Amino acid sequence: MPLLSIRNVSKVYYPRNQQSVLALDQCNLDIAKNEFCVIVGPSGCGKTTLLNIIAGFENLTEGSIVLNGSPLAAPGTPVSPGPDRMVVFQHGGLFPWMRALENVCFGPIARGQMTPAEAREKARSLMARVDLHDMEDLYPEDMSSGMRRRLEIIRSIIGEPEILLMDEPFRALDAMTKAVVQDFLLKIFDTSPHTIFFITHDLTEAIFLADKVYVMTSRPGRLKKMLSVNLPRPRTLDLVNASEFLRLKDELTDVIHEEAQKAFELGEREAAR
């Protein structure tokens, strides 16, 4: 049984005084426990919409989502966020007024999941795993962007969510920092597996991280193609030059190119209206 099962999910937005927008059209996707699932697709195709529905920030219009055998979302049923689904946002979500350690401990203490002492102990051991052991008293603004991203990952896994939802989390990082943070994320994934739903528009990142890469169509978003990435783990950066890696990237580039072209044409038509 898949951990997360997305069945025929459609989403229509009804913006005030504007035409409705069909953002997702009959999406189907299963994610197995401890699978690293990556979604790629052209801008505006509905990736964030799908993540927001899983996270409980948006309702769906049609279809259903089942997490661990229990219905999570269905039409007309209000959904809500929960500690079983933690989100790492593109623009970050650390509390600027809290020090690093407090940021990591806040969620599980606030939810009554851990005592402050338990949370601090777990936070310290997780921070050490991403080389942040000396940073517990720093405020986010005193950390580099790469450190903040590592801290956010730790903060989102301390409460052991069922699934980690990541929406282009490394988009704003420079190439070097991105490589370092990807490496830390994979180290965590290799030593204590998690189920991850990860959105990116970076195809190298997609293949480097994923067990499976799903390509979404231009709007309305559907899941068009799935590529299995059977590259061995643990993965290191030199893998990006391996022939199988390059073959997968070629294949993915072709599919994406076709969709990007369609998205561009859709944009042109809408602009001309």
Interface residues with Mg ion (CB under 5 A) are 47-48
Using an 8 Å Cβ cutoff, are 194 and 164 in contact?
yes
- 78, burial (CB in 10 Å: exposed 0-12, middle 13-18, buried 19+): exposed
Judged by CB under 6 A, which stretch of 46-54, 121-129, 147-155, 227-235 contacts ligand ADP?
46-54
Which stretch in 40-48, 109-117, 121-129, 234-242 sits in contact with ligand ADP by CB under 6 A?
Answer: 40-48
Binding of ligand ADP at residue 19 (CB under 6 A)?
no
Provide the 3-class DSSP secondary structure of residue 151: helix
Residue 219 binds ligand ADP, judged by CB under 6 A? yes
Residue type, position 213, single letter: V
Hey, what are 118's tokens?
């338990």
Q: Which residue has the tokens 């699978």?
A: 35
- Least separation in angstroms between residue 138's CB and ligand ADP is 31
- If we measure between CA atoms, which residue out of 104, 136, 98, 146 comes closest to residue 123? 104
43 binds ligand ADP (CB under 6 A): yes
Q: Which is nearer to ligand ADP, 18 or 243 (CB)?
A: 18
CB of 193 to Mg ion, least distance (A): 26
For residue 215, count other CB atoms closer than 10 A to its CB: 24
| Under rule CB under 6 A, residue 12 binds ligand ADP | no
Residues that bind ligand ADP (CB under 6 A): 13, 15, 21, 23, 41, 43-49, 219
